[in-house]
Structure 1
Amino acid sequence: MKLQRHGVALAIAAAGALLLSACGSDPTTTASGSSSAATNSPAVDCSGKQSLNAEGSSAQKNAIDVFTQAYQAKCQGANIAYNPTGSGAGIKQFTAGLVDFGGSDSALKESEAQAAAARCQGNPAWNLPLVFGPVALAYNLDGVEKLTLSGEVAAKIFNGTIKTWNDPAIAALNSGVNLPSTPINVVFRSDESGTTDNVQKYLEAASKGAWTQGAGKKFNGGVGSGAEKSAGVAKAVAGAPGSITYVELAFAQDNKLGIAQIDNGSGAVVLNDESVGKAIEAAKIKGTGNDLALDLNSVYGTTAAGEYPLILATYEIVCSKGYDADTAKAVKAFLTVAATDGQANLAEAGYAKLPAAFQQKLLTSIQAIDSGSQ
């Protein structure tokens, strides 16, 4: 797994070329060369409706593009229209019955789960974590190519306690680095975002009490300036020296931002394939049955050497039952392809492939979605 980004268009084109070449292969196998692919992938039923609508997390938009290429290669004429309006909007549109599934960077809260069950004809909605990726503490600071932050220092930056780049707390983590006295400009997501929720949960878990602002999809730090969606915050930081934000790796790389190492208590951890892979393997499932909602607190608060603590799991929010037959077939087909063939080129788009054991759990849940009624 290489968490490198060479441009979404190239990644998608590569995905299409690879998968189209495999279109005539046995549908029970995944694209060759994927070390994390399930050994017995289920067949894909392409007889459902041709067009799916989904909305939500902007963090997973580029992964959905890759999945769509794989889906179209497997199911001729099929398509999915995904609107990256943010996790909050995605959940609202799903619970309102306006889209077939929602994308969210956080599992449903109790109140959201009740609304989702009502939309699913009284049946529970499931949280299916399909896309994993690291969140970067991304910065724009002239002359500083290597920067280390800790959970405690990051919390104090994002709540305004630390105001300048040469603050002694930052300097203590960056011996030999010439830190300027430039004021720190925090850039945060102005829209409701599961990325914000996850980052604030990380700050709660890793800051040794420095973050008291709580979590949630709205930024609670009380400082800085807002920008919409992942692309917006990354672009804002790129245009403003002295700025810092939290954003998914792909967007940080696209905008050529600096990416801080995180000292989790056992030394500075570089954001790379190995450190992210360790974090994914450590993630715990808190959902029951086929609901795969994750408890990432143990990852956020980790002190394990070499484990990057700030990862994001993006969910597809689906009805366990309550779809009509054509929609159910299409949802299952898309998710099955995404979890198998669609994993082949995720690393090139800045995401992490599903570990094999977790992939099998996910496929079990996808196949358990009720096939619907005619």
Structure 2
Amino acid sequence: MKTTRHGAVLGLIAAGALLLTACGSDNNTPAGNATSATSGAAAATPVECGGKAKLNAEGSSAQKNAIDTFIQAYKAKCSGQDLAYNASGSGAGVKNFNAGQVDFGGSDSPLSKDKGEVEAATKRCQSNPAWHLPLVFGPVAIGYKLEGVKDLVVNGDVAAKIFNGTIKKWNDPAIKALNGSATLPDKDIKVVYRSDESGTTDNFQKYLKAASKGAWTQGDGKQFKGGVGEGKEKSAGVAQAVGSVDGAVTYVELSFAQDNKLSIAKIDAGQGAVELTGESVGKSIEGAKIKGEGNDLVLDLDSIYATTTAGAYPLVLATYEIVCSKGYDPDVAKAVRAFLTVAATDGQAGLADAGYAPVPKAFQDKLLTAIKAIV
């Protein structure tokens, strides 16, 4: 990992790392060390290395930089072991996991029962259920490029109307009402969206549905349904496109917005404008609840999207590693357990520098229980 690439992100997330590792925990680790709680868990958690020498995984591009961090930690912990990750997007990750072409998939959304994904995953896992393991948390930015405007505020209603084409100009009265005396140009809004199937798109549209109070009626899903704008592939593609066009706006993970020097909108959920910071992300993740059963750790994020908690940034994405609970060949199961154990412990220490937030302690404990049970 190149620490210089994400240096700007570190300042945003590092404070949140303190909050997140303490979230829901009775661990009395000194607050001065942002990774001490995670490091303590890592030191106490044995890793049984071995099995398949090179795992294959595919999916979410939102977690690509986090997976790179996990791979480095895995190779350091388990000499001779490796993992190849193809950041092809959540849709492809689910499809190829269910087809048995990769050892696990990465998705920003849970498997869909209605689309047959749950049934297909059960078949792939030799008639055993697949589990969702939320290993990566990260904020999604409403990133934009607008000359002369660096401090933009939106809310759920305005964001929905921008991304479904109802609001077409940057000086629209609804935007001006949230931005006081700011000078907004009479310029067309150019929406850029993910053209490939994306869990980021699904999460963003679910946010718009929950937070817009009826303005977003287009639904959700991994395909963008706003009916406006220009599509680009993957997180890097949309961020690069916005960075090259004045008046453009998109939804994208924080690290990609930072990499492309995009301005990031504040979000007003009813308690004042909230900047995307480590602390504001931490307040949102504190409210995340698990709605899956047993070791299937599916999160209920609806309460986050529609939060009115003061100081909470509501656009937070959780990425799942989708694994077989049972049904792997023994050498694959052993390597999958080893990689995921390292990712949930040692690997978390490097996430702040890669633009993400470490998993809360309570989540880490649940993750390790689930990982240990994979066979």
**2:336 equivalent to 1:331:** yes
Decide whether the 8 Å contact of 1:36 with 1:353 is kept in 2: no
SS in 2 for 1:342: helix
Worse-matched range after superposition: 144-153 or 34-43:
34-43
CA contact (8 A) 1:8 1:62 kept: no
Structure 1's 197 and 51: CA in aligned 2 closer, same or farther, altered over 3 A? same
For residues 34 and 180 of structure 2, the distance between their equivalents in structure 1, rounded to whole angstroms, comes to 42
> Which of 123, 126, 134 is the aligned partner of 1:129?
134
Counterpart residue number, 1:15: none
Partner residue, 1:240: 245
User: Alpha-carbon deviation of 1:308?
Assistant: 0.5
- Alignment of 1:297 with 2:298, yes or no, is no
Out of 56, 75, 91, the residue aligned to residue 72 of structure 1 is 75
Correspondence 1:56 to 2:59: yes
Counterpart residue number, 1:161: 166
- Letter of the structure 1 residue corresponding to residue 54 of structure 2: S
- Would you say 1:277 and 2:282 are equivalent positions? yes
> Counterpart of 2:93?
90
The residue aligned with 2:153 is 148
Going from structure 1 to structure 2, the CA distance change for 1:36 and 1:243 (only over 3 Å counts) comes to: farther
- Aligned counterparts of 2:7 and 2:344: Cα–Cα separation in 1: 21
1:1-12 alignment to 2 at 5 Å?
A: 6-7=4-5
Measure, in 2, the Cα distance between the counterparts of 1:197 and 1:35.
Answer: 34
Structure 1 residues 69 and 8: CA distance shift in structure 2, 3 A: farther
Alignment of 1:184-263 (within 5 A): 184-263=189-268
Runs (4+) off by over 6 Å: none
CA contact (8 A) 2:8 2:258 kept: no
Separation of aligned partners in 2, 1:296 and 1:33: 25
SS of corresponding position for 2:50: coil
Matches of 1:357 and 1:278 in 2, distance apart?
Answer: 15
Aligned residues of 1:328 and 1:369 also touching (Cα < 8 A): yes
2:12 match: none
Cα root mean square deviation, aligned = 1.5
Cα shift at 1:35: 3.5
Normalized against structure 1, the TM-score is what?
Answer: 0.90
* CA offset digits 1:312-354 (Å, max 9, x no partner): 0000000000001100000010000001000111111110011
The runs of 5 or more residues in structure 2 that have no matched partner are 10-32
Letter paired with 1:73: A
Q: Which residue pairs with 2:15 in the alignment? A: none
1:38–1:113 distance in 2 versus 1, CA, 3 Å: farther
Say whether the 8 Å CA contact 1:204–1:212 is kept in structure 2.
yes
2:39 touches 2:346 (CA, 8 Å); kept in 1? no
Alignment-mate amino acid for residue 61 of structure 1:
K
TM-score (norm 2): 0.90
Identity across the alignment (%): 68
Q: Say if 1:127 and 1:317, in contact at 8 Å, map to a contact too.
A: yes
CA shift for structure 1 position 36: 3.8
CA distance in structure 2 between the aligned counterparts of 1:38 and 1:335, rounded to whole angstroms:
15
Aligned length in residues: 346
Q: Deviations over 1:214-269 (max 9, x none)?
A: 00000000000000000000000001110000000000000000000000111111
**2:35 equivalent to 1:34:** yes
Distance between the aligned counterparts of 2:178 and 2:62, measured in 1? 29
2:47 counterpart residue number: 44
How far apart, CA to CA, are the structure 1 residues paired with 2:224 and 2:73?
35
Question: Are the aligned partners of 1:138 and 1:244 in contact in 2 as well (CA < 8 Å)?
Answer: yes
Superposed CA deviations along residues 86-108 of structure 1, whole A, max 9, x for unmatched, are 00000000000000000000011
Instruction: Write the distance in 1 (CA, Å) between the matches of 2:7 and 2:184.
Output: 36
- CA distance in 2 between partners of 1:365 and 1:347 (Å): 24
d(CA) in 2 for partners of 1:257, 1:251: 9
Structure 1 unaligned spans of 5+: 12-31
Q: Are the aligned partners of 1:38 and 1:360 in contact in 2 as well (CA < 8 Å)? A: no
Structure 1 partner of 2:350 = 345
- Matches of 2:259 and 2:103 in 1, distance apart? 30
Q: Does structure 1 conserve the Cα–Cα contact (< 8 Å) formed by 2:60 and 2:106?
A: yes
